[in-house]
Amino acid sequence: MADRLIITLAQLNQQVGDLAANAAQMRQVRAQSPDSDLIVFPEMHLVGYPPEDLIQKPALIARAALELDKLAADTADGGPAMLVGSVFVRDGALHNGVALLEGGRIAAVRFKYELPNYGTFDEKRYFLPGPLPEPVLFKGVMLGLPICEDIWHPDVCRHLAQLGAEIFICVNGSPYEIDKDVLRIDGVAKRRAIDTGIPLAYLNRVGGQDEVVFDGASFVVGPEGALWIQAPDWEEAVIRTEWNRVRVGNGHRWRCAPGEVHELAEHPEDIYCAMVLALRDYVDKNRFPGVVLGLSGGIDSAITAAIAVDALGPERVWCVMLPSRYTSAESLEDAAGCAALLGTRLDTIPIEPAVAGFAEMLAPAFAERAPDITEENLQSRIRGTTLMALSNKFGPMLVTTGNKSEMSVGYATIYGDMNGGYNPLKDAYKTTVFAISAWRNTKRPRIGLGPDAPVMPQRIITKPPSAELRPDQKDSDSLPDYAVLDAILGDLIEQERSVDQIVAEGYDRATVERIERLVNLAEYKRRQAPPGVKLGTRNFGRDRRYPITHGFRTA
């Protein structure tokens, strides 16, 4: 029976569906950790998480089994054992599970018991739950192997404790949400450790996968709730942990030698880092050479350009100013100033020739009709078409810049400023945009590739927002003050409150009813919007799935 274990926690990025690359990554970590007894990888790391309907392909399931057998064969060399997350078929049912690879074979397999089926998770669509798991014997030590959601409920850990588990090793694919790191550690992991008297090592993955991003931030907690180790967030890390069996009273317990406790990113840096990492991985994993975006001189495009530069470096970001007759000299100056601070390429392509061409082309059809929002939207669509042409011709992905406040109420032009392959601001309300812009203009994120602050002229942050599609236009002409709008939207979207409940908080009824109506009307636009990183609890797309056509109103 071992009295000392070296357990390596591999907090890694992944490539969904690229089993060979994920396996090669695991072999590389194993080769670099020869003194480890056990190397642990995140949930479903061999396949990638979340695989969505890709997991329904029989060829992928068969290839996963083959790759797992190859990884198991590697352990015949007497080196470190591995704990690998994958998919498994038992009696015709598909399971999310982990396999202990030791001595050249698959020594043990345990299945996930609690399957999440809310928000971003659809695990009951794909998997059947396993039975309550038993501990796995490894070098004489009873390891409890709860998988992600298994520790968010007490049953699995209590069951493992009753069967003699001595150390919990919990593998995870836990996406980032605002304040979730505190909930994971204090609200979940420490409770399970204290409740059972068993230390818990929590391993999470890091990196972006379409609309979700994983923040890493793995940790180890003791049975008294002490934080023994805290890995960094937003970066890959291979954490070597040393465990020793120590005498406590008349018995023994396992303790982890205290290690480095990294400071996690605070607000709003965590939100900004989520946007940066999500965009970086979306661009790189889809093999785009870089990005192109419209730089208007406004705050949304300025902070999007900063996110892109921090994600990819200035040499991979192409900014384009697309002025019309309504574009102010101030906006031209601010766009140029922003590009200069970020070190990006900036081209200017006036859209007036195309505007005039459309006006002439449509004049017979529009005869005797006064100009209205149609002409405003034409400008936006000309810009969107121009940017898409640059993307098609030269290869960079078009990044769009609309925030969640605008997307909520439809203050965006479909096939215009909504054009793009990805939107970092999709789940960020306008007040969040102001907050991250002010923060980034004074600080640089740890994972950023861009310049030290500032990244935009201060005037961009302080001036009243405007789409500049008609003379002297301001966002406030069409929308309530953003502080009011975002508070109402938070109640309607994040909290699912009714009009009556929101009015009871002191808001004007007519305003709340109007905002609810706009949210409902804009659903068809959001269905056609590009993907963007999830930040809060109810993002459009993965979390909030409303019918486009319905007649229910809360007023």
Claim to verify: residue 279 and residue 165 sit in the same structural domain: no
Claim to verify: residue 218 and residue 133 sit in the same structural domain: yes
Global pTM reads 0.95
Claim to verify: residue 301 and residue 224 sit in the same structural domain: no
- Residue carrying structure tokens 């923040």: 215
Backbone angles phi, psi at 502, to 5 degrees: -70, -40
Q: Residue 554 — pLDDT band, cuts 50, 70, 90?
A: confident
Tell me which of 28-42, 107-121, 178-192, 474-488 is least confident.
Answer: 474-488
According to DSSP, residue 84 is labeled: E
- Residue 101 and residue 74: Cα distance in Å, rounded? 9
Give the DSSP H or E segment for 525: helix 523-527
The answer to whether residue 228 is domain-embedded is yes
Contacts of 156 (CB under 8 A, 6+ apart): 113, 114, 132, 133, 146, 150
The answer to whether residue 11 is domain-embedded is yes
The answer to whether residue 105 is domain-embedded is yes
Is the preceding peptide bond at 268 cis, omega within 30 degrees of 0? yes
8 A C-beta contact, residue 439 and residue 268: yes
The strand ranges marked E within 217-314 are: 219-221, 227-230, 237-248, 251-256, 291-294
Backbone angles phi, psi at 178, to 5 degrees: -55, 130
According to DSSP, residue 116 is labeled: -
Mean pLDDT taken over the chain = 95
Residues annotated as catalytic are: 43, 112, 148
> Residue 505: pLDDT above 90?
yes
> Residue 524: pLDDT above 90?
yes
Q: Residue 506 — pLDDT band, cuts 50, 70, 90?
A: very high
Claim to verify: residue 250 and residue 292 sit in the same structural domain: no
8 A C-beta contact, residue 112 and residue 97: yes
Residue 417's pLDDT is what? 93
Mean pLDDT of 201-216: 97
Mean pLDDT of 93-101: 97
Backbone angles phi, psi at 99, to 5 degrees: -120, 135
Residue 550's pLDDT is what? 83
Residue 281's pLDDT is what? 98
> Residue 546: pLDDT above 90?
no
Of 9, 32, 33, residue with least CA distance to 216: 9
The answer to whether residue 262 is domain-embedded is no
Q: What is the number of domains present in the chain?
A: 2
- Residue 536 and residue 429: Cα distance in Å, rounded? 10
Mean pLDDT of 465-489: 82
- Residue 25 and residue 71: Cα distance in Å, rounded? 11
Mean pLDDT of 218-239: 97
Residue 2's pLDDT is what? 83
- Residue 135 and residue 144: Cα distance in Å, rounded? 5
Mean pLDDT of 444-459: 96
Q: Residue 540 — pLDDT band, cuts 50, 70, 90?
A: confident
Of 452, 457, 429, 246, residue with least CA distance to 332: 457
The answer to whether residue 78 is domain-embedded is yes
8 A C-beta contact, residue 310 and residue 282: no
Buried b (16+ CB within 10 A) or exposed e, 71-81: bbebbeeebbb
Is the preceding peptide bond at 50 cis, omega within 30 degrees of 0? yes
The predicted-structure confidence for 67-78, as pLDDT tens digits, reads as follows 999 999 999 999
Claim to verify: residue 293 and residue 167 sit in the same structural domain: no
Q: Residue 184 — pLDDT band, cuts 50, 70, 90?
A: very high
Q: What is the CA radius of gyration of the chain?
A: 26
Of 291, 285, 305, residue with least CA distance to 210: 285
CATH number at residue 481: 3.40.50.620
- Residue 272 and residue 453: Cα distance in Å, rounded? 14
Tell me which of 116-125, 418-427, 446-455, 460-469 is least confident.
Answer: 460-469
8 A C-beta contact, residue 486 and residue 429: yes
Claim to verify: residue 92 and residue 115 sit in the same structural domain: yes
Residue 212's pLDDT is what? 96
Strand, coil or helix: 11: strand
According to DSSP, residue 452 is labeled: S
The answer to whether residue 263 is domain-embedded is no
Is the preceding peptide bond at 129 cis, omega within 30 degrees of 0? no
Q: How remote is the C-alpha of 243 from its chain's centroid?
A: 32
Q: Which of 225, 254, 283 is the last residue of a domain?
A: 254
If you count them, how many residues does the chain have? 555
Q: Which of 202, 219, 254 is the last residue of a domain?
A: 254
> Residue 161: pLDDT above 80?
yes
Residue 541's pLDDT is what? 78
> Residue 483: pLDDT above 90?
yes
- Residue 110 and residue 99: Cα distance in Å, rounded? 7
- Residue 369 and residue 381: Cα distance in Å, rounded? 20
Residue 490's pLDDT is what? 95
Claim to verify: residue 202 and residue 297 sit in the same structural domain: no
Q: How remote is the C-alpha of 140 from its chain's centroid?
A: 39
Claim to verify: residue 335 and residue 475 sit in the same structural domain: yes
Of 245, 267, 265, residue with least CA distance to 256: 245
Mean pLDDT of 195-224: 97
- In the chain, the percentage of residues whose pLDDT exceeds 70 is 99
Buried b (16+ CB within 10 A) or exposed e, 274-302: bbbbbbbbbbebeebebbbbbbbbbbbbb
8 A C-beta contact, residue 35 and residue 64: no
> Residue 552: pLDDT above 90?
no
The answer to whether residue 547 is domain-embedded is no
> Residue 261: pLDDT above 80?
yes
Mean pLDDT of 488-495: 94
Q: How many CB atoms lie within 10 A of CB 198?
A: 21
Claim to verify: residue 248 and residue 340 sit in the same structural domain: no
CATH number at residue 173: 3.60.110.10
Tell me which of 95-99, 118-122, 144-148, 231-235 is least confident.
Answer: 118-122
Q: Residue 209 — pLDDT band, cuts 50, 70, 90?
A: very high
Mean pLDDT of 336-349: 98
Residue 121's pLDDT is what? 87
- In terms of residue numbers, what domain contains 66? 4-254
Instruction: Measure Cα distances from 437 to 140, 276, 298, 536 in Å.
Output: 53, 13, 11, 18
Claim to verify: residue 199 and residue 282 sit in the same structural domain: no
DSSP string covering 303-340:
HHHHHHHHHH-GGGEEEEE---TT--HHHHHHHHHHHH
Residue 495's pLDDT is what? 92
Claim to verify: residue 79 and residue 109 sit in the same structural domain: yes
- Residue 22 and residue 402: Cα distance in Å, rounded? 34
> Residue 470: pLDDT above 90?
no
The predicted-structure confidence for 392-432, as pLDDT tens digits, reads as follows 999 999 999 999 999 999 999 999 999 999 999 999 999 99
Contacts of 77 (CB under 8 A, 6+ apart): none
Residue 259's pLDDT is what? 95
Claim to verify: residue 233 and residue 350 sit in the same structural domain: no
Cα 319-206-219 angle, rounded to 5 deg: 140
Q: Which amino acid is at 293?
A: L
The answer to whether residue 549 is domain-embedded is no
